[in-house]
Amino acid sequence: MAGKVDRIQDPELRASLQAAQESLRRGDYQDTVRRSAEAFLEMLRRRPELLQGQEGIRRIFMFPRLGVDLVVTPGNPPALQFQRERFSFSEAVTYLEFATEQLLREGM
């Protein structure tokens, strides 16, 4: 996955997911999930149109619900709500892969 993360165009988002990868290697799965989910959230904050229409609905429903919820309410910016603090390796990888794929898909 290192190659995919390196293809992210935005330096700030790329650095965030590179740090998430490093956290994954160290076994800090909570930090991996946090950094990955926050990178995805930052993409939505920068480009709120990504939450519009059928594709926006799909994006909301595809967000992994493995202990972190994506909260989208009309008139408010999207937010994250953490339901727990401990995550497994597979959960961390899921969030990292999801964020990476979404950022690449949107050319960020």
State the total domains in the chain: 1
Strand, coil or helix: 68: strand
Per the structure, the complete domain to which residue 33 belongs is given by 2-105
pLDDT in tens, 55-103: 888 888 899 999 999 999 988 999 999 999 999 999 999 999 999 999 9
Closest alpha carbon to 97 in 67, 62, 54, 70: 62
Radius of gyration of the chain (CA): 13
pLDDT in tens, 38-67: 999 999 999 999 998 888 888 888 999 999
- pLDDT bracket for residue 1 (50, 70, 90): low
**74 vs 25 pLDDT, higher one:** 25
